[in-house]
Amino acid sequence: MRIVDATLFALQIPFVEAFAHSVRSRSCSDSIVVRLRAEDGTIGYGEAVARPYVTGETVEGCLRFMERTLWPAVQATDYFHWAGQDAIAWLGSLALPIEDSANAGTGVVAWNAARCGFELALIDCLLKSAGVSLGELLPPRHPVTYSGVITASSIEGAVKHAKRFKQFGLPHIKVKITGEADRERLAAIRAAVGPEVSLRVDGNGAYSVESAIATCEALAEFQIDSAEQMIPRGDPQDLAMVQAASAVPQMADESLITLADAEALIEAKACRGFNLRLSKCGGLGTTLAIAELSQAADIRVQVGCQVGETAILSAAGRHLAAYLPEISFCEGSYGSLLLREDLSRRPIHFGHQGLAKPLKGPGLGVEIQDALLEKYAQQTISLSAKAA
Amino acid sequence: MAQAIRPLIETQYAEQVQAFEHSPWFQRLEQGQASLQEYDVFIFNLCQTHLKSPQILAFLYAVAPPEAAPQIKHNLLEELGLDEVAICHPDLLYQLATAAGFDRDRQTHLAQAAQAQIRQLCTDPLLFGTMQELGLSVLLEVTCFEWMLSRLAGRIGQTLAEHRGLSPASLTWFDHHSEVDIRHAEEGLDSVEQYLAYYEIEAEDLETILDITFRENIFIKRYFADLPLLAGSAHENR
């Protein structure tokens, strides 16, 4: 089946409240939604979240790569419906171009967000056309329990968030840390939520090797279940040094963008956990491949999310999290808890105790409201097979 | 407990009302700078917000403690026009919609949109673990609306008369919720206190539920949701 046109929506949906970590603070989402239309009229939606400090992609760069590289490849391909064959192989058949020679030297690690946007839109479109849910390809193995994430605001603000999450019965909480008053922050949060709630920290690369080791040691008394990306992306040996010196399990996030990154981290015994994020890792196909590697290497996985993602990425993340044999933690599906309006007709966000049901509808299982795409689009690019 | 709790709640309500009153859209409407279509979007949203008040009050009546139940029941009957005054409030909202020129299709759409909000309330995954927490959150929102209307309904009605050219008769709903209705707002706070006492809700939990309920500005969210963002509105949430 051929894809006959594509529309790219660069969105700005305001947040209910600002979200900050060590690298930046944001008050609105900046997702790019990819809408594809197949020759039979079926519409599919995908989502890309460009993060310059993660993959090196910007919204503008992503749009350019989508228009110049991905769209020509997609419109030139005759896609096959999924007909019960191996899910991983079928997802592999949707492989998209990796490189863009015109953008060489831009500092982009990988065009993974852009590829994720198109890949998810293809999956949604082709599965909807066949009346199949992604849950049939990736059958859920367990319920999904989402974590709360506490932004790097004041300690007073962090405690307020912690109390909200406690009221919602969330069993897992991730705390963004910056190197400023980390101990006081964790002490206050632990006091607010009690001993039963699992706490973990995320440094977003704000620490040196030495300060990461010292911070993990200082925070260990608060029963920290993992420390995510304490040092910047770089030589896996550096992360291995932190892991070797710390009892707190280290989790790779920005250090883990490509399959080659995963192999290098495993080889270096750099960490005990991988944070898998679809937009960061290039979509479902590559994320599943990384998950397979991690399983073989006995590395635990967390299914992460993008701050400000809409129901599209959240739905794909839900399918992934429910399908993977074992995950340590799951993030995402914040929907209208963070966004002033989410794109799906029915809410995607989790309920009490962070629990969420599997999505059963065709494709990704969410019904996207085009009117909201129009409402929040800062830029819209229409691409058709004829014009390309 | 009551002395400490009441000012805490009133402070939250006051902050919500102040942020609404100073929001760019409120200012634009009140100063007559909005277009006809923008006034109509506001009227639509206001009607949508309040058309299902009887249903919401019925829910609150169901979870109300014995001390608060008679008052909530009275408010419910008043909304439905089944009290001694016998004016059905949803009818007043349709009267407003008709005066604004909403044709049959638009009024049908309005009714469907109001029903959709009830449906959403029922289908949204529940974040609270118990009905008492959900009930408190709904009670806080409803009484905060009463608190706001008792202070601003007159000004809003005046705005629609001056800048949208609506007749006094079509603005009766605002008269019923206007500044003279301070008593209702005070009774609402009494109900909250009675609810807290009956369900033995601790001050710390109240603070968290207040924080959750009012993390967004409820008036801006309900009344201005479909209007485009204006300069200065990015930080208007609280």
Interface test with B, best of A13, A164, A344, A357 (most B CBs within 10 A): A164
Closest-CA distance of chain A to residue B229, Å: 9
Half-sphere exposure of A87 (CA within 13 A, CB side): 18
Gap between the Cα atoms of B30 and B180, Å rounded = 20
Q: Does the pLDDT value for residue B235 go beyond 50?
A: no
pTM of the model: 0.92
A103 has pLDDT over 70? no
The shortest CB-CB distance from B125 to any of A14, A169, A347 is to A347
pLDDT, residue B236, reads: 45
Instruction: Report yes or no: A8 and A65 within 8 Å, Cβ to Cβ.
Output: no
A157 → chain B, closest CA residue: B211
| pLDDT, tens digit (0-9, with 9 covering 90-100), for A243-289 | 999 999 999 999 999 999 999 999 999 999 999 999 999 999 999 99
Indicate whether B120 pLDDT > 60.
yes
Rg value, chain B, Cα: 18
Q: Is the pLDDT of residue A194 over 50?
A: yes
Predicted local confidence at residue B180, as pLDDT: 60
The whole-number pLDDT of residue A26 equals 80
Q: What is the mean pLDDT of residues B78-95?
A: 93
Which pairs from B161-164 meet CB under 8 Å and 24+ separation?
Answer: B162/B32, B163/B29, B163/B32, B163/B34, B163/B39, B164/B36, B164/B39, B164/B40, B164/B43, B164/B100
Q: pLDDT digits over A291-300, tens only?
A: 999 999 999 9
At B178, is the pLDDT very low, low, confident or very high (cuts 50, 70, 90)?
confident
CA-wise closest residue to B49 among B173, B185, B179, B205: B173
Q: For helices B182-198 and B69-80, give the axis angle rounded to 10 degrees.
A: 140
Using CA atoms of B227, B228, B233, B238 in order, give the dihedral in degrees to the nearest 10.
Answer: 40
B122 in reach of chain A (CB within 8 A): no
DSSP structural state of residue A277: -
pLDDT-above-70 percentage for chain A: 97
Residue A379 DSSP one-character state: E
In three-state form (DSSP H/G/I as H, E/B as E, the rest C), the secondary structure along A161-225 is HHHHHHHCCCCEEEEECCCCCHHHHHHHHHHHHCCCCEEEEECCCCCCHHHHHHHHHHHHHHCEE
pLDDT the model gives residue A104: 63
Disruptive mutation site among B123, B127, B140 for chain A (greatest number of A CBs within 10 Å)? B127
Is residue B108 pLDDT above 70, yes or no?
Answer: yes
The amino acid occupying position A179 is: G
B128 touches chain A (CB under 8 A): yes
Question: Does position B233 have pLDDT exceeding 80, yes or no?
Answer: no
Q: Rounded to an integer, what distance in angstroms lies between the CA atom of residue A71 and that of residue A328?
A: 36
Tokens encoding A241: 């040094």
Task: Output DSSP code: residue A147.
Answer: P
Beta strands in chain A (DSSP E): 3-11, 13-20, 25-29, 32-38, 43-48, 144-145, 148-150, 172-176, 198-202, 224-228, 250-252, 273-276, 300-303, 329-330, 355-356, 377-384
Are the CB atoms for A115 and A69 separated by under 8 Å? Answer: no
The whole-number pLDDT of residue A100 equals 56
| Mean pLDDT (whole number) for A85-110 | 81
Handedness of CA B83, B86, B87, B89 (dihedral sign): positive
Q: Position of tokens 């794909």?
A: A316
Cα angle at B97 between B94 and B100, to 5 degrees?
A: 155
Contact B133 A17 (CB under 8 A): no
Identify all chain A residues contacting B211, using CB atoms and an 8 Å cutoff. 160, 163-164
- Write the CB contacts of A235 (distance below 8 Å, at least 6 apart in sequence): none
CB A313 within 8 A of CB A29: no
B181 contacts A139 by C-beta, under 8 angstroms: no
Q: What is the largest CA-CA distance in chain A?
A: 62
A192-220 mean pLDDT:
97
Name residue B180's amino acid: V
pLDDT-based confidence at residue B1 (cuts at 50, 70, 90): very low
- Tell me, what's the pLDDT at A27? 86
CB A318 within 8 A of CB A359: yes
Q: Kindly report the average pLDDT of chain B as a whole number.
A: 92
pLDDT value, residue A98: 82
d(CA A320, CA A330): 10
Which residues does chain B have within 8 Å of residue A27's beta carbon, measured at their own beta carbons? 234-235
Separation of CA B109 from chain center: 20
pLDDT for A130 beyond 80: yes
The pLDDT, as a whole number, for residue A116 is: 98
CA distance B112 to chain A (A): 15
pLDDT at position B234: 47
Is the CB of B86 inside 8 Å of chain A's CB atoms?
Answer: no
The shortest C-alpha distance from A192 to chain B (Å) reads 11
- Chain B residues in contact with A17 by the CB 8 A cut-off are 215, 237
Q: How confident is the model at residue B232 (pLDDT cuts 50, 70, 90)?
A: low
Chain A partners of B25 at a C-beta cutoff of 8 Å? none
Whether A180 shows a pLDDT value over 70: the answer reads: yes
pLDDT, greater one: A388 or A21: A21
Residue A378 zone, left/alpha/beta (φ > 0; ψ -120 to 50; rest)? alpha
CA-nearest residue to B235 within chain A is: A17
Half-sphere exposure at residue A81, Cβ-oriented, CA atoms within 13 angstroms:
16
For residue range A39-83, what is the model confidence (pLDDT) as tens digits?
999 999 999 999 999 999 999 999 999 999 999 999 999 999 998
Q: Which of B208, B221, B230 to mutate to test the interface with A (most CBs of A within 10 A)?
A: B208
Q: Which pLDDT tens digit goes with each residue over A323-363?
A: 999 999 999 999 989 999 999 999 999 999 999 999 999 99
CB-based contact (8 Å) between A26 and chain B?
no
What's the gap between Cα B28 and its chain centre? 20
Torsion angle of alpha carbons B96, B102, B104, B110, nearest 10°? -70
pLDDT band at B2 (very low <50, low <70, confident <90, very high): very low
User: Do residues B45 and B29 touch, judged by C-beta distance below 8 A?
Assistant: no
Beta carbons of A138 and A87 less than 8 angstroms apart: yes
Max CA pair span of chain B: 51
Output the pLDDT for position B95.
97
Chain B residues in contact with A341 by the CB 8 A cut-off are 225
Nearest CB neighbour to A351, from listed B125, B221, B234: B125
pLDDT at residue A10 tops 90: yes
ipTM over 0.90: no
Facing A351 at nearest CB: one of B126, B209, B221: B126
Q: Give residues with Cβ within 8 angstroms of A118, minimum separation 6.
A: A34, A36, A46, A48, A66, A70, A71, A74, A96, A283
| Alpha-carbon distance A19 to nearest alpha carbon in chain B (angstroms) | 13
**According to the model, what pLDDT value does residue A388 have?**
45
Distance from CA of residue A364 to its chain's centroid?
15
Q: At what angle do helices A182-193 and A155-167 cross, to 10 degrees?
A: 30
